[in-house]
Amino acid sequence: MSEIRSVVLGVGGYLPDKILTNHELAKTVDTSDEWIRERSGICQRHIAAADEFTSDLGTHAAKAAIEHAGLTIENVDLIIVATTTPDLTFPSTATIIQEKLGMQHGAAFDIQAVCSGFIYALHIADAMIKAGPYKHILVIGAETFSRILDWDDRSTCVLFGDGAGAMLLGRSETSERGIISNFIRSDGRYCDLLMVDGGPSRTQTVGHVRMVGNQVFRHAVKDIAIAMKECAAQIGIKPSDVDWFVPHQANQRILDGVARQLKLRPDQVISTVAQHANTSAASVPLAFDTAVKDGRIKPGDLVMLEAFGGGFTWGASLLRL
């Protein structure tokens, strides 16, 4: 019997027009371009306009992915949005995007796994395609992290940006392409090391990002390497056997640390952290979109995606484009 595969039919990305450089940031907070570049590799980030919401960013990315696939919104059965910065506490950002896309059928829901959200959403979408009856699922990572940053806290505000990325998955019973394996993990013992200090139930406020950066860094390098090994082992290969590695874009030093541990060549690693900074759940699909559209990742290539975030949550997905 042939195997059901979730095939990537289209990808899309969107970044707000406004760019905030390290130099500009250094005028309002006690930091420098040199410090930010050296410690994180980040040069700039995009910031959403005051009247631009997570759903707007996600809608732009979704439209680009649908167009890239050569399909229309009528083909989409389900929308899954990974976000930590929803437009509102409810309804879900997914239903707002559903409305903005003019989709009056199917279903839409959000999932929350912070920076690992897109990997979690891909795993869910893959399982739902395999279980049926879904034929086309739009998976979106969209964030306006600028809205939950404390712009006086130099240890966090320099690291994040806004953006959205999307992937349109289609069901196939004949293709050798598509999602091959997934791996997700979380460990709530570490929830205080990377968190937002507000929320509807505890404080009735939105809160700001708080992070113990050096501890997050250590866990991220170790756990990402394990996730990638687990994902690769499911089909009997090593992480270095893949054509491309599309990591969560949090910090160039984390990317380099993982690459060293797993013996990946620098030219296998897609890095957009310098231009995009950390866009949380949008970071992996945005980086993937960038490398597909600039021609580096080609149909047939074997690609490993990974992410790590608050919770802690982490995971990886292996796919053939």
Active site residue 278: yes
Instruction: Tell how far CA 243 is from the center of its chain.
Output: 19
What is the token pair recorded at 111?
Answer: 């999932």
Q: What does the per-residue mask of binding to ligand COA show for 50-89, with x meaning CB under 6 A?
A: ----------------------------------------
Q: Could you say whether residue 214 binds ligand COA (CB under 6 A)?
A: yes
Active site residue 248: yes
Dihedral angle, C-alpha 243, 249, 252, 258, nearest 10 °: -50
CB of 178 or CB of 309, closer to ligand COA: 309
Q: Could you say whether residue 249 binds ligand COA (CB under 6 A)?
A: no
CB of 106 or CB of 213, closer to ligand COA: 213
Active site residue 115: yes
The one among 75, 155, 261, 268 contacting ligand COA by CB under 6 A: 155
Instruction: Tell how far CA 219 is from the center of its chain.
Output: 18
Q: Could you say whether residue 287 binds ligand COA (CB under 6 A)?
A: no
The one among 251, 272, 290, 317 contacting ligand COA by CB under 6 A: 251
Helix (H) or strand (E) holding 38: helix 33-40
Q: Could you say whether residue 312 binds ligand COA (CB under 6 A)?
A: no
What distance, in Å, lies between the first and last C-alpha atoms of the chain? Answer: 22
Q: How many CB atoms lie under 10 A from the CB of residue 166?
A: 34
What is the token pair recorded at 171?
Answer: 């069901």
CB 118, min distance to ligand COA, A: 12
CB of 288 or CB of 308, closer to ligand COA: 308
The one among 4, 19, 37, 39 contacting ligand COA by CB under 6 A: 39
CB of 231 or CB of 258, closer to ligand COA: 258
Q: Could you say whether residue 261 binds ligand COA (CB under 6 A)?
A: no
CA distances from 192 to 6, 17, 242, 298, 310 (A): 35, 33, 34, 40, 9
Q: What does the per-residue mask of binding to ligand COA show for 98-137, with x meaning CB under 6 A?
A: -----------------x----------------------
What is the token pair recorded at 82?
Answer: 């990974």
CB of 59 or CB of 313, closer to ligand COA: 313
CA distances from 181 to 4, 58, 184, 254 (A): 13, 25, 10, 23
The one among 12, 239, 309, 311 contacting ligand COA by CB under 6 A: 309
What is the token pair recorded at 186?
Answer: 């979380």
User: Looking at 6-14, 33-41, 121-129, 286-294, which segment touches ligand COA (CB under 6 A)?
Assistant: 33-41
Q: Could you say whether residue 207 binds ligand COA (CB under 6 A)?
A: no
Q: How many CB atoms lie under 10 A from the CB of residue 173?
A: 9
The one among 63, 100, 130, 154 contacting ligand COA by CB under 6 A: 154
Number of residues written out for the chain: 321
Q: How far apart, in whole angstroms, are the C-alpha atoms of residue 82 and residue 112?
A: 6
What is the token pair recorded at 74?
Answer: 């009528």
Q: How far apart, in whole angstroms, are the C-alpha atoms of residue 310 and residue 212?
A: 11
Q: How far apart, in whole angstroms, are the C-alpha atoms of residue 106 and residue 138?
A: 11
* Binding stretches for ligand COA (CB under 6 A): 31, 35-36, 39-40, 115, 154-155, 158, 211, 213-214, 216-217, 220, 250-251, 254, 278, 308-309
Active-site residue set: 115, 248, 278
